[in-house]
Each structure stands twice: as C-alpha cells, then as structure tokens.
C-alpha cells in the first residue's frame, strides 16, 4: 500500500504540491473524502457479512437521504424561486437518471456484494486505480499530455495494487495455518 500511496503522491506533486498551492483546499477535501470512504469500507465490512447488498444499499440511501434532506429542500426551494428548474433540459434529467441508476445504485450493489466476498483492505487497494484511470481518460478523451511523473506515479500505483492483489487470500492463510 505504501508503494501505491507513493505513486499517488508523485501524481499529486506534479502540480507543485505545497501548503500555498491553489488546489490545497480541494486536495484536503479529496483526502478527507478518501479517508471517510476507507473508514466506511472497514466498518461496512462488518455489516456486509450480515446483510445482502440490496439491504445495505437501502439502509445507506435512507440514512444519507435523511442527512441531506434539509439542505436538499432548501436548495430546491431556492432554485425554484430563481426559476432554475426550467433551465434543466431533458439531457440534464437524463444525466441525473443515468448517474442515479448506474454510478450510484448499480455501483453500490456491486460494491457491497464484492465487500462481502473480499477483505476490506484488498477492496480499498483498488481505489488507488482511480488517479491512474483518471489520467488515462484525460489523455485519451481530453488530449492531456503524458509526463515522466505521470508515468512514474501511475507505474508505482499499478505496482502497489498488483502486489496487494497478488498477496495470499484469506482462505489460503486459513488452509496454511491448519
């Protein structure tokens, strides 16, 4: 994991990672979100053994909905007073439906099913692939340029994830201890 984390740091440092960076607040928000999701994965592992992925999704969406409801109502009313709802075309609503169905519901159904059958640390290691995939998509879709630090950082991330994923499986450790 240290190797993969080092790769992420190389990727982040390409744009002058410092305390005076213009992206420091965004970097801190991203780090906080990553930390919270890691904690969510570890705590969710205990619950995933008891509930199926549909139940897990239902409980999580219900709890999240309750937490976000006051802000959502406030923003919906504010947008309505400003006439903003009329500005949302069919493409906007279709994008919202797509995100809700695939990037949210389907993704978390798969996530909790995998969490039930895989260790939390092994599943968490896959999150190190996000910056690599983002970089690749940026190069392919947006024409961004590859640099040495992108190649080095991406290589370290992939090597770290490969080492984590190639480690002994939980059932292999149990069999070896018998």
Nearest Cα neighbor of 11 from 150, 125, 106 is: 150
Domain that holds residue 33: 2-177
Q: What is the pTM of this model?
A: 0.62
Q: What is the pLDDT along the chain (178 residues), one digit of tens a residue?
A: 788 788 878 877 776 666 666 667 777 887 788 788 888 888 888 888 888 889 988 998 999 999 999 999 999 999 888 888 888 889 999 999 999 999 889 988 998 888 888 888 778 777 777 777 887 888 899 998 888 887 888 888 888 878 877 877 655 454 444 4
The answer to whether residues 141 and 133 touch, using CB atoms and an 8 Å cutoff, is no
- Predicted pLDDT of residue 82: 81
**How many residues can be counted in the chain?**
178
- Predicted pLDDT of residue 77: 92
**45 vs 119: CA distance, rounded Å:** 8
- Predicted pLDDT of residue 127: 73
Q: Give every CB contact of residue 1 below 8 A, 6+ residues apart in sequence.
A: 121, 125, 128, 160, 164
End-to-end, the C-alpha distance of the chain in Å comes to 28
**166 vs 122: CA distance, rounded Å:** 10
User: By three-state DSSP, how is residue 19 classified?
Assistant: coil
- Predicted pLDDT of residue 178: 45
- Predicted pLDDT of residue 81: 85
Q: How many domains, in total, are found in the chain?
A: 1
Q: Give every CB contact of residue 40 below 8 A, 6+ residues apart in sequence.
A: none
**16 vs 12: CA distance, rounded Å:** 8
């Amino acid at each position: 994991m240290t190797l993969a984390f080092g790769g992420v740091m190389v990727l982040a440092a390409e744009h002058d990672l410092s305390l005076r960076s213009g992206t420091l607040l965004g970097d801190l928000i991203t780090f906080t979100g990553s930390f919270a999701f890691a904690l969510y994965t570890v705590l969710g592992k205990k619950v995933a053994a008891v509930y199926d992925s549909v139940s897990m999704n239902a409980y999580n969406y219900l709890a999240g909905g309750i937490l976000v409801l006051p802000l959502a109502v406030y923003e919906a009313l504010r947008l309505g007073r400003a006439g903003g709802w009329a500005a949302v075309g069919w493409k906007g609503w279709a994008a919202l439906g797509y995100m809700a169905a695939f990037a949210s519901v389907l993704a978390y159904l798969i996530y909790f099913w995998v969490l039930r059958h895989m260790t939390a640390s092994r599943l968490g290691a896959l999150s190190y692939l996000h910056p690599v995939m983002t970089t690749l998509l940026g190069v392919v879709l947006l024409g961004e340029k590859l640099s040495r630090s992108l190649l080095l950082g991406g290589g370290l991330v992939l090597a770290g994830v490969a080492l984590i994923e190639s480690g002994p499986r939980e059932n292999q450790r149990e069999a070896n201890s018998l």
